[in-house]
Amino acid sequence: MWTNYVEAWKSAPFGMYFFNSILTTAVITAAQILTSALAAYAFARLRFPLKNFLFMVLVATLMVPSQVILIPNYVFSPN
């Protein structure tokens, strides 16, 4: 029944939960874009020792799917 949705929405501060989720997402996305842009600039324009090795390490970590580290994250969780 549709009234159950209204009652559930009123039973907890879902508006605050939604705002917290949006705020967290926005901050993390902005930080990710900033750090990625700085790293991209460094790899594209600057010359520094071990540049190629560090770039290969970065690319290798991007190629590991998140499902691969799902079980180790669960095993090492502080629960």
Residue 61, H or E segment:
helix 51-63
Q: How would residue 76 be classed by pLDDT, with cut points 50, 70 and 90?
A: confident
SS3 60: helix
Average pLDDT over residues 40-54: 96
Per-residue model confidence (pLDDT) at position 17:
92
Q: How would residue 39 be classed by pLDDT, with cut points 50, 70 and 90?
A: very high
**Total count of residues recorded for the chain:** 79
pTM of the model: 0.66
CB 55 within 8 A of CB 43: yes
Tokens of 13: 């501060």
Instruction: Enumerate residues 6+ apart whose C-beta is below 8 A from 8.
Output: 14
CA distance 51 to 29: 26
Q: How would residue 50 be classed by pLDDT, with cut points 50, 70 and 90?
A: very high
